């Protein structure tokens, strides 16, 4: 099938450029830009790193004088304010572009529409909303962070067909196949941080790094350890491959805290209830440190607690064609719903195959009341 040459054609290219930089921009959005003049693509750009040039600037630099009178396709509204970089709207005006086509407006209510307004005031034609849904989904983590200050949490798990993440002995190597595990490492590359509980850290002693065929980015490693009971010999404390944060409760043993900090580990004391960390307070503190996305690779207990607290934004479960029975560790170890009407629904389902496994991805919707 031949694609029709229209605004969507060029915007899809801009979205592809943006998508390739997922994981590189921190709490900034991923953005792609395409500049077209007289039927030819004259400039391409992606935002590659927080604090560095935005997509529009890279594309304008490539286009040079050809940008004058051109049409610019950009996946997110050009910025209009001075942040770590100058306003892109001003550069587009200076370059003399004739038209700007934008997929989505800025989700920040304080600045939304201002960049487009500045372009219109300068006499530049603007079109908004071309492939908007695709753009917003691409930046779902940024959209949550900019609106709430909380990181976007993706719960990832490998499970058997009967919903178990380990066998009766606790053995979990390997639930899923190699293709699924490779996909998980790409997910790690795309998130600012990866989080596990103390039980998983003690049982598996994982490195929580990104291991891909080509170099990938290692996320910050986060371990939830309310009592600081984990030994210092664990890889996340000793291998130096990525920064490590321990989330713990206020009032823990100062000697153990100092020992972790001496090993280069950041310890964050959170509010606690009944001996358990207040996970919402923990997420708030991570957001304050500029962590905009978290890949949750927890055990059943942490998975259930995060879900019940309404802190899981997306779920990706890789199901292997295996059955281990009821003695295995459940994917969500929590009381859950007493009635089916109180169950957590998963919406926006997408299904993909990785070798013999199937990955089911969707967004949890907690019931209005009950079951929690």
Residues identified as active-site = 56
Decide: helix, strand or coil at residue 19.
Answer: helix
Peptide bond preceding 174: is omega within 30 degrees of 0, i.e. cis?
yes
- Rounded distance, CA 63 to CA 147, Å? 34
Length of the chain: 372
Cβ contacts of 107-111, under 8 Å, gap ≥ 24: 107/136, 107/139, 107/142, 107/143, 107/146, 107/147, 108/146, 108/147, 109/147, 111/79, 111/80, 111/81
Sole residue written with tokens 């370059």: 95
* Helix (H) or strand (E) segment spanning residue 362: strand 357-365
State the Cα–Cα distance between residues 102 and 100, nearest whole angstrom.
Answer: 6
């Amino acid at each position: 099938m031949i694609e029709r040459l229209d605004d969507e054609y060029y915007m899809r290219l801009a979205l592809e450029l943006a998508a390739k930089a997922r994981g590189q921009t921190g709490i900034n959005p991923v953005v792609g830009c395409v500049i077209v003049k007289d039927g030819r693509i004259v400039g391409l750009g992606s935002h590659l790193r927080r604090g560095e040039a935005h997509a529009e600037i890279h594309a304008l630099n490539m286009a040079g004088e050809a940008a004058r009178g051109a049409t610019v396709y950009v996946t997110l509204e050009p910025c209009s304010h001075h942040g770590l970089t100058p306003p892109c709207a001003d550069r587009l005006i200076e370059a003399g572009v004739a038209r700007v086509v934008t997929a989505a407006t800025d989700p920040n209510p304080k600045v939304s529409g201002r960049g487009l307004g500045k372009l219109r005031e300068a006499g530049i034609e603007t079109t908004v909303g071309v492939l908007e849904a695709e753009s917003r989904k691409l930046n779902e983590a940024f959209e949550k962070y900019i609106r709430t200050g909380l990181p976007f949490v993706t719960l990832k798990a490998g499970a058997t067909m009967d919903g178990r993440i380990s066998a009766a002995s606790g053995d979990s190597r390997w639930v899923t196949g190699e293709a699924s595990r490779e996909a998980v490492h790409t997910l790690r590359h795309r998130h600012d941080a990866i989080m596990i509980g103390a039980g998983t850290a003690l049982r598996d002693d994982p490195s929580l790094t990104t291991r891909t065929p080509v170099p990938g980015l290692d996320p910050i490693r986060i371990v939830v350890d309310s009592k600081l009971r984990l030994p210092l010999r664990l890889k996340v404390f000793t291998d130096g491959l990525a920064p490590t944060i321990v989330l713990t409760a206020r009032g823990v043993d100062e000697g153990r805290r100092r020992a972790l900090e001496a090993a280069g580990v950041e310890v964050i004391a959170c509010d606690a209830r009944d001996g358990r960390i207040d996970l919402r307070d923990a997420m708030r503190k991570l957001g304050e440190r500029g962590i905009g996305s978290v890949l949750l690779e927890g055990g059943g207990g942490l998975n259930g607690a995060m879900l019940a607290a309404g802190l899981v934004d997306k779920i990706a479960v890789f199901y292997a064609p295996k059955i281990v029975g009821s003695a295995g560790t459940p994917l969500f170890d929590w009381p859950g719903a007493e009635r089916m009407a109180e169950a957590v629904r998963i919406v926006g389902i997408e299904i993909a195959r990785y070798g013999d496994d199937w990955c089911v991805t969707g967004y949890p919707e907690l019931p209005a009341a009950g079951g929690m």
